Chain A
């Protein structure tokens, strides 16, 4: 269809503005990370006058970035996997059965999205402490397990909701055919429904991983120096004897690149998952 001039102008303006808005901070992030400390502390320059990769070496020793990185990877991947599994079961139940309490369940789950994190931060903290006291060993308090369990519930409401929507789009007849063949519920879900729902599952996984990778509030209270994740660890660069802005930027780049790449590679699934799931 033909586009009127006004729309073309609109497109150019919007794309220019947004491209600048998005790109400029990324340019600054990138260029500052390859500047020597003296240059980042001096007058702003668009092009680095000296290029050095030293910040990328230094970041690992100024703070224990490797440890934070490992903690983040462990916590975020496990909570992602668990969150996806739990959400698949729950979403499947919501999509395929009308059972008593179903609407209470979905409403409650969705309304937990509304809870201000700050309201249950301390209670959760106290709860973990008491569970550990009762168990007689440290399971949850300032451990990776505790953080994993916490994070997995953060993405759960949205994940269940999105997957239920996605399952709705998969013809019920598929399940029924499988069941007539004598397959159990679990087999039906795993062998028949899940393969058809792959984009939805990937979308949920990506969403879940990103939620926990960027979490700050709970990470600030629920970790010990040993289990600290990147979101808190990264802030320690600015509290050193010098504010190593170049290292801050280099470290930011290092922790951003993997998630951004993964996200961009998987984004078509995310759009597909959203289309089928959340956005009906």
Chain B
């Protein structure tokens, strides 16, 4: 953190000066309080009450249930707790795969396109399109391509002689892989964009010095580019992790409120408990557990990489 000498001014305006930053951040604080903080507190309260269909019309009278919703979610031997655990595992695997692949593709593309060659601008623009498209339009296109009888994917696999062209991509265990591919398609351009911006921040003279030393391009990437991108990577991977772990759009647009078991990732699982089974108390309890998990993971991540959030 840099130190910031405040501009000292003579006269009686010191007080006003001291208050200025608070005025400036006030709108942001009020909005965050209204939309995020207060609802979250209400959400935590909801997790302790039995807010079911019988009480949604008059939710303040819902009975206090204490920790029973939490016990239910964490009792992994019961079918409900078990399906919550299953959903958590699916989400972890999903997140690892999506973030990993998105990072790899984004990094490769950024490295390739950072260097000058003909047609660079074209590829750079093209690769941003999946990110620029509204999420749901991309997902709907994919779901059309993944249809069993008339979809492109089976058509291609059949003409390549890989399958009979009659695989199901949106049910059973394949549904999971379809979802992963779509999410990667959608998120790798973000990694690409961030990393490209990061690459432009590395001064050219660092490379020049290395190239004089005779280091090849791969060595440069390994010993200069990668370390220099570390801060970008840290932030980007964290953001991708949070977005993917909380991802709701991909499974919801692809499968609706009731995804196949293999693709039952956590936010849709909670949505189902809340808006399909009408048990908002239980849904909230699972959300709180999810939030607690994310807080712990994020905290640990930042601690391990010994880098607090840049401005904290």
Contacts and interface: CB of A to CB of B under 8 A. Distances in A.
A–B contact via C-beta, under 8 angstroms: yes
Interface in A200-214: 210, 213-214
Of the candidates A124, A152, A253, the one having the most CB atoms from chain B within 10 angstroms of its own CB is A124
Contacts, number: 297
Of the candidates B36, B249, B291, the one having the most CB atoms from chain A within 10 angstroms of its own CB is B36
A interface SS class: helix
Contacts of B35: 120, 124, 149-150, 153
A223 interface: no
Interface residues of A, number: 106
A271 B197 contact: yes
B155 A44 contact: yes
Nearest to A96: B4
Contacts of A152: 31
A190 interface: no
Interface in B92-111: 105, 108-109
A137 interface: no
Contact of A14 (B108, B117, B149, B284): B108
B265 to A, nearest CB: 11
Interface string B17-35: 0101110110111011011
A234 interface: yes
Contact of A123 (B42, B211, B252, B275): B42
Contacts of B15: none
B66 to A, nearest CB: 19
A245 interface: yes
Interface of B: 2-4, 6-7, 9, 18, 20-22, 24-25, 27-29, 31-32, 34-43, 46, 59, 105, 108-109, 112, 115, 117, 123-138, 140-142, 144-145, 149-152, 154-155, 185, 193-194, 196-198, 200-201, 207, 211, 216-218, 231-232, 235, 239, 242, 246, 248-249, 252-253, 266-267, 270-271, 274-275, 280, 283-284, 287-288, 290-291, 294-295, 298, 309-312
Given A18-B123, A97-B20, A156-B28, 6 more contacts: A18-B108, A24-B152, A86-B27, A119-B284, A149-B31, A271-B197
